[in-house]
Amino acid sequence: MARPLPKYTVPSLTPQDGAKVAEVLQQRLNALNDLALTLKHIHWNVVGPHFIAVHEMLDPQVDAVRLMVDAIAERIATLGVAPVGTPGALVKARTWDDYSIGRDTAIAHLGALDEVYVGVITDHRQAAKDVEELDDVTNDLLIGHLHDLELFHWFVRAHLESAGGSLSTASADGEKAAADAARSKDKASA
Ligand SMILES: [Fe+2]
């Protein structure tokens, strides 16, 4: 990263470590900003008989994720680094594709959203590990987010789960495949 070292950081961290932690946090800021926008996109595009359940389930998730974004950005600033919150920078820095589904049924969006949460949570856990030795406070912040993110992921998965406990998206690879798997499982059980 070409970013200059912070002139100060939190007590007991070196500026180098402060910069490292902030760099990890910046990518989580991008991921959760992206997630909040994606959740709203689904909120607007979901159609079909389960519309209202999914439409209404998503807004509290958006609110919670926006609070996480704010806490991450303010932790970056606390570490002495400038958080970057612009959409162009987000798109440039992200390593994942844009959410690919437009107007579609609840079950298709939930199948795809299962995949989105798998990606976000896996990376969030890795980020928590990456800062474990460097900064307990940031580690605690990220672990705190995971409590909610994993709960929200379960809310999504509960729609995709059979009475036997298996997920319709279990063998799907990627968002589109997960949406298709959820859709065909739903048709088969109708
Ligand atoms: Fe709304």
pLDDT digits (tens, 9 = 90+) for 108-140: 999 999 999 999 999 999 999 999 999 999 999
How many angstroms does the Cα of residue 88 sit away from the middle of ligand 1? 25
Phi, then psi, of 2 in degrees rounded to 5: -85, 0
Concatenated DSSP letters of 113-162:
HHHHHHHHHHHHHHHHHHTTTT-HHHHHHHHHHHHHHHHHHHHHHHTTB-
How many angstroms does the Cα of residue 44 sit away from the middle of ligand 1? 7
- Residue extents of the structural domains in the chain: 15-189
Provide the pLDDT for residue 2: 61
Task: Kindly list the distances between the CA atom of residue 6 and the CA atoms of 85, 120, 127, in Å, as whole numbers in the listed order.
Answer: 18, 27, 20
Residue 172 three-state SS: coil
Strand partners, 161: 167
How many angstroms does the Cα of residue 43 sit away from the middle of ligand 1? 7
> 28-38 pLDDT, tens per residue?
999 999 999 99
How many angstroms does the Cα of residue 77 sit away from the middle of ligand 1? 31
How many angstroms does the Cα of residue 96 sit away from the middle of ligand 1? 26
Provide the pLDDT for residue 3: 81
Token match 């909040």: residue? 36
Provide the pLDDT for residue 113: 97
Q: Is the pLDDT of residue 190 over 70?
A: no
**pLDDT band for position 171 (cuts 50, 70, 90):** confident
Enter the CATH code of domain 15-189: 1.20.1260.10
Average pLDDT for the chain: 94
Q: Is the pLDDT of residue 76 over 90?
A: yes
Task: Kindly list the distances between the CA atom of residue 57 and the CA atoms of 27, 60, 150, in Å, as whole numbers in the listed order.
Answer: 26, 7, 15
Amino acid at 54: V
Q: What mean pLDDT is predicted for residues 53-60?
A: 97
Residue 142 corresponds to which tokens in the numbers above? 């990220």
How many angstroms does the Cα of residue 42 sit away from the middle of ligand 1? 10
Strand partners, 47: 105
Q: Is the pLDDT of residue 187 over 80?
A: no
Distance CA 110, CA 168 (A): 11
Provide the pLDDT for residue 60: 98
**pLDDT band for position 162 (cuts 50, 70, 90):** confident
